[in-house]
A and B are shown apart, each in its own frame.
Chain A
């Protein structure tokens, strides 16, 4: 892929909605790749014992998956200058899996640095699971 050009992007441009599936195996893979082995992300009985409705995804998995959708639009993972979010609601992952849906909108553009600020919205069903998720990306 190659990096999207600044001149091809306008404020208000959108991408998505893109659905990303999340299964229990996804969370095991994320736990192994990230080193975060908290059992609330893998063990249903443990998760319920601490008052959760079921296994929940790592917040950082959700942020990572959201970032991947952004990168697909940008065309270069190295273009992400910064990305930040709040974690507002957990993504509950029952035994038959779940999904999040990601959309993005270009909020502002800076001609001098050829970068844009993107607002990202990630939902699971009706729940907005990330709050104030924003990224600044450098375009070609």
Chain B
């Protein structure tokens, strides 16, 4: 199976909305050792100027990966998921993700490069809030290892 380079530039229809809950934020914060009370205590979050508890900076990966699954699992895309490793990840935050947000995610295939027999695919997902305002841009590069 070869990665289909014709997918570069393809934009998938928005997915979601994904409801962000205080419980999900608390569980994610605990799993990555994020101990700041603004993740778990609404009063602390409000004192810091937020409407409710906020997500740790890498939590956007949850909605990014849910959204990009439409591409990665697309049989026409030619991605053998058993050969995939995560190469790079980045998040640009336009504002913190807050409990109560309803996020919509739009994924596009940004680039597909070949190197050393592997395919490197960069997928960019824009998260927007219920009003359509940008919240976070997540960029992920996966490496599909070539066959022996």
CA gap between A82 and B92 in the complex, in Å: 4
Which residues in window 60-81 of A have CB below 8 A to B? 60-61, 63-65, 67-68, 71-72, 75-78, 80-81
Contact with B along A1-42 (1 / 0, CB 8 A): 110000000000000000010000010011011111000000
CA gap between A64 and B48 in the complex, in Å: 21
The reply on B89 being an interface residue by CB < 8 A is yes
Chain B residues in the interface with A (C-beta under 8 A): 24, 27-28, 30-39, 48-50, 54-59, 61-62, 65-66, 82, 85-93, 95-96, 139
Chain A residues in the interface with B (C-beta under 8 A): 1-2, 20, 26, 29-30, 32-36, 50, 59-61, 63-65, 67-68, 71-72, 75-78, 80-87, 135
Interchain Cβ contacts under 8 Å between A and B, 13 examples: A30-B31, A35-B62, A35-B65, A59-B86, A60-B58, A61-B31, A64-B56, A67-B58, A68-B56, A77-B36, A78-B38, A78-B49, A87-B85
